[in-house]
Amino acid sequence: MNEPRHLDTAATEQSAQASTNDPATTPHAGAIGRLVLLRHGQTVWSESGQHTGRTNIPLTAVGERQAAEAGARIREQFPEGFDEECVFASPLKRAQQTARLAGFTPRSLPQIAEWDYGRAEGRTRQTVAALHGAPWDVWRDGPGALQPEMGGDWTETLPGGEQVPVHNGPGETLDDVYERVAQAIDVAVPLLESGRSVLFVAHAHVLRILTARWLGVDPHFARLLRLDTAHYSVLSVYKGDRVIERWNC
């Protein structure tokens, strides 16, 4: 497997200077391309409901098949394809695998890594609530509400025998992620304004939060968006406004 290519810092800083993600309008709307968001395929934890932030777990066999099928759907919708410099993926294994199995060669973009769930990482919502001693919701409470005693590192053995390290640190707030994805939009905007479409391959929560940022609405709006494994969505500009063109396809 090819090593992921990282977007260089200078390019990120240069695109950040051209940021237009506040307010939720974009110049040259008539020529702007589309921003396509693809969630990675199935993993063991996406099925079990364990919070999967920065833990680097692979796709299941089902997830691999889903990724290939998603690539076919995207190519049907975008027969012109994507320029190589317009395809980005989270550096995490499941996103990189999905991008390649879908037929793309991505550049690695850390700003679209999944939400760092901190002390909820690797645990279901029910397990977190039991350890926390009270109901807990990632959107309402965030990782910061969890006691430091819930932190620590361990090794998880996946059904296939692969061992993956799990880290439970302080994590990120919703606002942290909302600010981080603004940088990803900054990377995409110059490419979109050149009339080219851009593909981001990443994760459910971060892509939903990025969508809220694209629209210029409160980040909590993202919890109302459903994005299934290996499904894609399309963001675009319509009559000068940033919009959701297609969702969960």
DSSP strands (E only) in 2-147: 5-6, 35-39, 87-89, 107-108
- The string of DSSP codes covering 1-41 is -PPPEEPPHHHHHHHHHT---SSSB-SSGGG---EEEEE--
- Output DSSP code: residue 118: G
Q: Decide if 40 is catalytic.
A: yes
- Contact by Cβ (8 Å): 40, 63: yes
Q: How far is CA 71 from the centre of its chain?
A: 17
Question: Per the residue annotation, which of 51, 114, 203, 205 is the catalytic one?
Answer: 114
Binding residues for substrate are: 52-53, 94
Binding residues are: 52-53, 94
Angle between helices 204-215 and 174-193 (to 10 degrees): 70
CA dihedral 198, 188, 54, 65 (to 10 degrees): 0
Sign of CA dihedral 103, 109, 115, 116: positive
Q: State the first-to-last Cα distance of the chain, in angstroms, to the nearest integer.
A: 28
Question: Per the residue annotation, which of 3, 28, 40, 245 is the catalytic one?
Answer: 40
Q: Decide if 114 is catalytic.
A: yes
Active-site residues: which are they?
40, 114
